[in-house]
Amino acid sequence: MIIPAIDIINGQCVRLTQGDYDQKKVYNANPLEVAQQFEAAGVTRLHLVDLDGAKAKHIVNHKVLEKIATHTGLQIDFGGGLKSHEDVRIAFDSGASQITGGTVAVKNREMFLEWLEEYGSEKIILGADVRNAQIAVGGWQEQTSLDLFDFLQFFVGKGIQYVICTDISKDGMMQGPAFELYGQILTQFPSLKLIASGGVSNNEDIRRLEEMDLYGVIVGKAIYEGKVDI
């Protein structure tokens, strides 16, 4: 499954490099236009990230989500700044098909598990952002000592089906994804619907991930820079 990414700052479609807000590039002032282009190319899913929300620690760009959900048929997975029951309710009310929780799954496990119970494992994606196989949170600004595999083990035990795993060192570098890491995850958790994120640089990367039997791949900068032709 090819899942293009749209990252939002100030209502605009941007990309960061390795999560650094100072390394921001605006690709389009109109995210809806970008989403419609993806849909026209045959894409069915979209990964929409509220970077303002990630910084503010609450949902900010839900109007952008609502606009894309209303004017396209894309299945949208929405993340960034979802820290409360109210944030998640707003995301689903605004048209998200799924939401991704990363930081909250570390900082407030109970709440994340309540979301899982309330909305079901089809709608809640676990975001596992890693640096040296340890989880990073808060828009990648904060490194924890939490081991990725322990983290996954816990939530798989609670019924999580979908995981987006981003190797931060690869993100926005367009030097290839973390193939080895994804291989290790699938060996340990073969039934997981694992979505790769970060580092995709060309069509060959995508083919290789498909051969490894990953569920999907999120592609951002490589599309905007013309390295991957949707």
Query: Does pTM surpass 0.85?
Result: yes
Q: Which residues belong to the active site?
A: 7, 129
Reported as a single tens digit per residue, the pLDDT across 128-155 is 999 988 998 866 677 889 999 999 999 9
The phi-psi region of residue 205 (left if phi > 0; otherwise alpha if psi is between -120 and 50; otherwise beta) is: alpha
CATH number at residue 116: 3.20.20.70
Structural domain total, the chain: 1
- In this prediction, residue 45 has a pLDDT band, given cuts at 50, 70 and 90, of very high
Kindly tell me if the per-residue pLDDT of 41 is higher than 70: yes
Tell me the residue range of the domain where 219 lies. 2-224
Which tops the pLDDT comparison, 186 or 169?
186
Are 47 and 77 within 8 A, CB to CB? yes
Asked if residue 149 is part of any domain, the answer here is yes
Asked if residue 42 is part of any domain, the answer here is yes
148-157 and 179-188 helices, crossing angle to 10°: 40
Asked if residue 133 is part of any domain, the answer here is yes
State the Cα–Cα distance between residues 213 and 208, nearest whole angstrom: 9
Asked if residue 229 is part of any domain, the answer here is no
**What is residue 138's predicted lDDT score, i.e. its pLDDT?**
67
Asked if residue 230 is part of any domain, the answer here is no
